[in-house]
Structure 1
Amino acid sequence: MLRTPSGDAALAAAALLGGDDPLAAAAALRKQGFAPELAAAALTQVALRRKAAGKFGPDAARMFFTRAGLEQATRRVVADRRAARLAAAGVTSLADLGCGLGADALAAARAGIAVHAVDADPGTAALAAANAEALGLAGLVTVSCADATTVDVGGHDAVFCDPARRVAGGRRVFDPAAFSPPWDFVAGLAGRVPRTVLKLAPGIGHELLPPGAEGEWVSVDGDLVEAAFWCGPLAAAPRRATVLRGGAAAELTGSGTAAADAGPVGAYVWDPDPAVVRSHLVAEFAAAVGGRLADPTIAYVHADTHVPSPFGRCIAVTDVLPFSLKRLRALLRERGVGRAEILKRGSALDPAALRRDLRLAGPHGVSLVLTRVGGAPTVLVGHPVGP
């Protein structure tokens, strides 16, 4: 419907309307002569395009989306980095199994890789093909509607697989055996095509990492967005944390099995990026900033000096208190604290309830870190250092 001359006109007209009043916008399009069904479809698509700009940038204005597809699509900054790594490894032909709306296939094509993209849902496959055409990449992206388990991947340099982790209705699936395609098939791809990359939910267990593969966890602006298993010759380190923030990228690698040094609270406390924590690279991060753990089960890193790092947030500690609501409230009242950022690891306290109970009032702000030290509930008071 939208990929017709009248659909193009409806999309163009809808894009000129504000999104604050959907009923008024629909009435305006109908007044211009567009059928109600076409007007509704155009307005929905324009709203999705506006929302998609955060993931896809200017390209979103030309692409086609569904709500579920947009939610599950890879952010362009993540897809582009993955495609660049594949291209650098010499990949020229890629099978993309479970392509969705085509975010990763489009990124691979932009990197000069020919892609055979596959999705089991006819509507989704059609949108992936439409997106490749809209962005001028149809010459490098071929889209098929098929069951991924039936696709011959033997003629490709590499395989990328993003198994569906939701069922009809949008409910998330956490059991890998219930993925589509199922985990046995997904995990077996590297045995068929050694250069295989698996995109997975960030909560995937390390025990599922294929032998010799690299486990990478990726965050964007502080949000943990995905895990990727790089198999065969694509593996470059046992574990990798990739932190993308404000257009900059940083990577931390290590074994994923090292234990951090133990020691006391210091003048600074680091809250490692979630990609560092989930990739089990806290020990490597602690070593990089000259830090240690005050509790071996809690991923706050304590240090005596401030060493700038992109892999976490640093707070300069002014006070270390055994947790006591009465004592903490008195301290903050004395210092005129009216705003509090509350972080927690290893604490059962609810930050919203604590903020209410503290009855903050005053012109100053503070950072509170709820944690354990030596097994005892502890609060660290301080303020952020660095970006």
Structure 2
Amino acid sequence: MDPETLSLLLSPDGWALLGALPPYDERLALPMAERLQKEGLDPRLVAGALTQSRLRAQGRAKFADFADGMLFTPAGLEQATRLTVGARHARRYQAAGCTLVADLTCGIGGDAMAMAALGLGVLACDVDELTAAIATVNLRHFPEATVRHADGLTLDLAAEGVDGVFADPARRTAQGRRAHDPAAYTPPLDRVLALRDAVPALGVKVGPAIPHAAVPDDAEAQWVSIDGDVVEAGLWFGPLAPDGPGRTALVVRGQAATVLRGPAPHADAGPVGTYLYEPDGAVIRAGLVGTVADQVRGRLLDATIAYVTSDALVATGAATAYRVLDTMPFGLKRLRTALRERGVGRLTIKKRGTAVVPEQLRKQLDLRGDGEATIVLTRVAGSQQVLLVEPVGTD
């Protein structure tokens, strides 16, 4: 989006068009664009409105119904915090007693919306003028929020009366590649972390691939997953981390949330048991697989692999449980025979610690039955093995 397109969208005709468009359908976008232009609408407005319609449809995954009244850029939507996660961020500041939070890199305003919705005062800044303008639109219903086109790092936090700081540095390079090195963030992570000397209540959203070595000793580092998708890590300082520093994992599945806290106990490796537990990705990123093993009274399949096995079925929100039906050394003929004997035609393939490509294996197996099965390709005590499993509830 450019400033001219934004101006067109914010005009009375543009906003009315956005509100009148039907739910986005890629197949109908081109015919609709042609029809609207024939009706005399500015082609730039039509293109901008249809782009926003598409982004709003995508944005519902993060913002639910709120997306229908928001404006987006592709990059802004990609980096935006999901509303459910943003609400958890906001509650940290609320619980810490913060009254005015500076969102130094507000983007399209997702986190600022969540904070303002809880009644927190928000000073939202973005160094990009167009992005700040979009955030202003998205925060229009929240009098608690002020948006400023500014470099948030240049704010005089004391003069502004700020008692909480949040930052979500951009994690893409100029070439569009994902930046895993915190020094390559924009702004660099160390510049943001320096602010905790002035405002102890500092929170920073970082990429989930952040190395543990890059996490400051005084931070609570929390990895977050939503329905199996690891969406972020956050660094929380001072009163925003009331339980003190350490590594934690927040696993959200539907309406249920599970928090695991380190340090993880040591877990030995041992033989395959009755059940297999697949730890959630946030648990793995946080280095808390040993905690899952302790919860389920289990052990690792292999010292280097994040699978846990146990003879007990234990309810845990931090892992998915499977019943082990069979186990065998990996071999194409042996596996094909075992699956054909079971009449398997639809196969779910999970893997960890093996170079096997699931789609290639699926073609080589050439299964034709009507049944379903799940196999796990992994190492057990250093040996390549196949586990035939079935999901099992732990409610």
- TM interval, short-chain normalised: over 0.9
Q: Which of 149, 153, 167 is 2:173 aligned to?
A: 167
The one-letter code of the counterpart of 2:169 is P
Per-residue displacement from partner, 1:76-110 (whole Å, max 9, x unpaired)?
A: 11101111222122121101111110100110001
Deviates more, 1:11-20 or 1:282-291: 11-20
Match of 1:224 in 2: 230
Match of 1:53 in 2: 60
Answering whether residue 353 of structure 2 is matched by residue 349 of structure 1, we say: no
What is the Cα deviation at residue 169 of structure 1?
A: 5.1
Deviates more, 1:230-239 or 1:16-25: 16-25
Distance in 2 between residues matched to 1:71 and 1:254, nearest whole Å:
30
Could you tell me the TM-score, scaled by structure 1's length?
A: 0.95
SS at 1:166 equivalent: coil
Distance in 1 between residues matched to 2:157 and 2:168, nearest whole Å:
15
What is the Cα deviation at residue 231 of structure 1?
A: 0.9
Answering whether residue 89 of structure 2 is matched by residue 82 of structure 1, we say: yes
Q: Which of 292, 299, 302 is 2:299 aligned to?
A: 292
Distance in 2 between residues matched to 1:296 and 1:107, nearest whole Å:
41
Deviates more, 1:43-52 or 1:6-15: 6-15
Match of 1:184 in 2: 190
Deviates more, 1:365-374 or 1:26-35: 26-35
Distance in 2 between residues matched to 1:255 and 1:64, nearest whole Å:
42
Deviates more, 1:100-109 or 1:177-186: 177-186
Match of 2:214 in 1: 208
Match of 1:112 in 2: 119
Answering whether residue 245 of structure 2 is matched by residue 241 of structure 1, we say: no
Per-residue displacement from partner, 1:267-291 (whole Å, max 9, x unpaired)?
A: 1101100001001111111111111
Tell me, yes or no, if the aligned pair for 1:14 and 1:46 is still in contact at 8 Å.
yes
Answering whether residue 153 of structure 2 is matched by residue 153 of structure 1, we say: no
Per-residue displacement from partner, 1:334-361 (whole Å, max 9, x unpaired)?
A: 1111111111111111111111111112
Match of 2:144 in 1: 140
Q: What is the number of equivalent residue pairs in this alignment?
A: 383
Match of 2:42 in 1: 35
Tell me, yes or no, if the aligned pair for 1:162 and 1:200 is still in contact at 8 Å.
yes
Deviates more, 1:259-268 or 1:7-16: 7-16
What is the Cα deviation at residue 261 of structure 1?
A: 3.1
SS at 2:106 equivalent: coil
Tell me, yes or no, if the aligned pair for 1:315 and 1:367 is still in contact at 8 Å.
no
What is the Cα deviation at residue 255 of structure 1?
A: 1.5
The one-letter code of the counterpart of 2:74 is R
Distance in 1 between residues matched to 2:114 and 2:98, nearest whole Å:
13
What is the Cα deviation at residue 15 of structure 1?
A: 3.5
Distance in 2 between residues matched to 1:269 and 1:311, nearest whole Å:
13
Match of 2:375 in 1: 368
What is the Cα deviation at residue 69 of structure 1?
A: 0.8
Tell me, yes or no, if the aligned pair for 2:267 and 2:294 is still in contact at 8 Å.
yes
SS at 1:15 equivalent: coil
Distance in 2 between residues matched to 1:107 and 1:119, nearest whole Å:
17
What is the Cα deviation at residue 16 of structure 1?
A: 6.5
Structure 2 unaligned segments of length 5 or more: list them. 1-7
What is the Cα deviation at residue 207 of structure 1?
A: 1.3
Distance in 1 between residues matched to 2:343 and 2:389, nearest whole Å:
14
Tell me, yes or no, if the aligned pair for 2:52 and 2:71 is still in contact at 8 Å.
yes
The one-letter code of the counterpart of 2:170 is A
Tell me, yes or no, if the aligned pair for 2:173 and 2:184 is still in contact at 8 Å.
no
Answering whether residue 338 of structure 2 is matched by residue 338 of structure 1, we say: no
Tell me, yes or no, if the aligned pair for 2:182 and 2:214 is still in contact at 8 Å.
no
Tell me, yes or no, if the aligned pair for 1:118 and 1:148 is still in contact at 8 Å.
yes
Percent identity for Structure 1 against Structure 2:
49
Deviates more, 1:234-243 or 1:62-71: 234-243
Per-residue displacement from partner, 1:137-163 (whole Å, max 9, x unpaired)?
A: 1x1111111223212223311111111
Distance in 1 between residues matched to 2:317 and 2:296, nearest whole Å:
11
SS at 2:21 equivalent: helix
SS at 2:162 equivalent: coil
Match of 1:92 in 2: 99
Match of 1:283 in 2: 290
The one-letter code of the counterpart of 2:50 is L
Could you tell me the TM-score, scaled by structure 2's length?
A: 0.93
Distance 1:344 1:19, change over 3 A: closer
Distance in 2 between residues matched to 1:58 and 1:114, nearest whole Å:
23
Match of 1:252 in 2: 260
Deviates more, 1:342-351 or 1:144-153: 144-153
Distance in 1 between residues matched to 2:237 and 2:24, nearest whole Å:
47
The one-letter code of the counterpart of 2:162 is H
Tell me, yes or no, if the aligned pair for 2:107 and 2:131 is still in contact at 8 Å.
yes
Distance in 2 between residues matched to 1:208 and 1:156, nearest whole Å:
26
Tell me, yes or no, if the aligned pair for 2:279 and 2:318 is still in contact at 8 Å.
yes
What is the Cα deviation at residue 19 of structure 1?
A: 4.3
1:2-17 paired onto structure 2 within 5 Å: 2-15=9-22
